[in-house]
Amino acid sequence: MTDRKLDGKVAVITGGSSGIGLATARLFIAHGAHVVIAGRNEAALQSAKRDLGGNVFTVRADVSRPAELKLLMRTAHDALGPIDVLFANAGISECPDIFDTGESFLTS
Ligand SMILES: NC(=O)c1ccc[n+]([C@@H]2O[C@H](COP(=O)([O-])OP(=O)(O)OC[C@H]3O[C@@H](n4cnc5c(N)ncnc54)[C@H](OP(=O)(O)O)[C@@H]3O)[C@@H](O)[C@H]2O)c1
């Protein structure tokens, strides 16, 4: 790939061991990024690492737990330096239907 839009950049992808996160990790690596993928299951992370080849660093973390999220960011920073891209991919939205969304939801 000649157009390496993320050359040398550090990217953290939560939920990087499968699906959209894994596909994004593959694309970011192809664009020259140093990628950190995070997920809860260590075996899935290692499988993704084998799948992705080089330039990937794994961190086991449950992003619904603030302490683990903090540790993920600290570990990524310590390993690869300042983080340029964060893809907060893991998680589900609990927003109500858009027609049921009011100010009280936004401020709660
Ligand atoms: N696929 C779709 O059609 C679609 C449509 C709209 C929105 N989305 C959203 O896009 C995102 C990715 O979807 P996907 O289909 O690619 O999902 P997926 O294949 O099920 O992958 C989810 C990834 O997130 C990780 N994960 C789940 N809970 C986590 C947690 N608490 N902490 C850290 N990692 C966690 C999983 O690994 P572990 O289980 O090992 O933690 C896995 O790597 C999700 O937020 C989903 O809601 C998907």
How confident is the chain (108 residues) per 10-residue block, as mean pLDDT? 88 98 97 97 98 92 96 97 97 79 68
For atom 17 of ligand 1, which residue has the closest CA? Answer: 19
Q: What per-residue confidence (pLDDT) applies to 105?
A: 63
**Prediction pTM value:** 0.90
Listed by start position, the domains of the chain span 10-91
Q: Do residues 48 and 42 make contact, with C-beta atoms less than 8 angstroms apart?
A: no
Non-local (6+) Cβ contacts of 77 within 8 A are 83
Q: What per-residue confidence (pLDDT) applies to 100?
A: 79
Q: What per-residue confidence (pLDDT) applies to 10?
A: 98
Q: Do residues 47 and 17 make contact, with C-beta atoms less than 8 angstroms apart?
A: yes
Enumerate residues lining ligand 1, CB below 6 A.
14-15, 17-21, 38-41, 44, 61-64, 89-92
For atom 34 of ligand 1, which residue has the closest CA? Answer: 39
Q: What per-residue confidence (pLDDT) applies to 7?
A: 96
Could you tell me which of 16, 22, 18, 19 has the C-alpha nearest to residue 38?
Answer: 16
Q: What per-residue confidence (pLDDT) applies to 20?
A: 98
Atom of ligand 1 nearest to the CA of 68: 32
**Distance between Cα 91 and ligand 1 center (Å):** 6
Give the right CATH number for 10-91 from 3.40.50.2300, 3.40.50.720, 3.40.50.150, 3.30.750.24. Answer: 3.40.50.720
Structure tokens at 4: 């390496």
Q: For residue 94, what are the β-bridge partners?
A: none
Q: What per-residue confidence (pLDDT) applies to 103?
A: 75
Q: What per-residue confidence (pLDDT) applies to 2?
A: 65
